[in-house]
Amino acid sequence: MQNFTTDAINLKSYNLSESDKIIVMYSKDKGIIRGVAKGVKKSTSKLGGRMDMLIANKLMLHKGKNLDTICQAEAINTFKNTRNDMNKLFYSIYCSEIVHSFGIENDPNSEEIYDLLYMTLQSISKAQNKVELLISVLKFQLKLTHIAGYSMELENCVVCGCEPKEDEIYYSAAQGGIVCRDCAGPLCGTIRLHNKLRGFLTALLQLDYDTKSRYDELANEKVCDFCFKLLKSHVEQHSPKKIKSSQMLDMADFKTETKIMTGVAKEPELSPE
């Protein structure tokens, strides 16, 4: 058996014994990995707080038959600003759970997904307000589902393939994207989508975390929260596992209460240019 090194972000942990834990991580070159942190629950543990959730580490592991053993861990980023802010913590947990759901062992997209999660957690940690926080999460939702092969269709009607008129755009979570007015009629759970919101989402998918679009300046908390709920429904539609932290976000005291999955709802508009 041999040792190997990797960069990984802690996603969750399980108790293995009185002093040991199993840490589930997403690594840059292997995707989902699980390692035993021996003695981590003891006050004298060399691994200590580096095995806490939402910490990026440079690891050395010993390859085992069933489970690897974590030998060394050097913290790369603890995203410390997140830990004292409930909103930042909730959304960070949500993003990490999505990676845990969509991620696999020996993931061919491991580097891209690791970098995306790392940049998202860093962006959330640095966010100065709720809008900046939500924009970071929106980019993550769009980009992660795109990498996983479930990109939201924002250009043409997913049912008939036409390009809807600007004032006749609807969104269907079940169909995975926008639909025209004619196709929206027979479908349940569609919502009206303003063309500016379609442009906002398209820009977020295409731009990195350091680049702002003209839509970012027009976005407000109500718009971002609406888009988050819309994308949350898209993620849940395609997730291999139930995203439990979605319920935690639903129960939190957020201002917008737009219902996406039932009936036809009217969406908020971006601030006027």
The string of pLDDT tens digits covering residues 166-177 is: 999 999 989 999
Query: What pLDDT was estimated at residue 188?
Result: 75
Query: What pLDDT was estimated at residue 49?
Result: 86
In this model, does residue 255 exceed pLDDT 80? no
For the chain, give the percent of residues with pLDDT over 70: 92
The string of pLDDT tens digits covering residues 99-108 is: 999 999 999 9
Q: Where are the domain boundaries for CATH 2.40.50.140 in the chain?
A: 3-77
Alpha-carbon span 246 to 232, nearest angstrom: 8
pLDDT bin (cut points 50, 70, 90) of residue 218 is confident
Residue 78: closest CA among 66, 68, 88, 87: 88
pLDDT bin (cut points 50, 70, 90) of residue 135 is very high
Give the highest mean pLDDT range of 34-48, 84-98, 237-251: 84-98
The string of pLDDT tens digits covering residues 106-120 is: 999 999 999 999 999
Query: What pLDDT was estimated at residue 1?
Result: 55
Q: Where are the domain boundaries for CATH 1.20.1440.120 in the chain?
A: 80-251
Tokens of 3: 């040792």
Alpha-carbon span 67 to 90, nearest angstrom: 29
Q: What is the pTM of this model?
A: 0.89
**Per CATH, the architecture of 3-77 is what?**
Beta Barrel (2.40)
CATH topology of domain 80-251: de novo design (two linked rop proteins) (1.20.1440)
For the chain, the average pLDDT equals 89
Query: What pLDDT was estimated at residue 6?
Result: 97
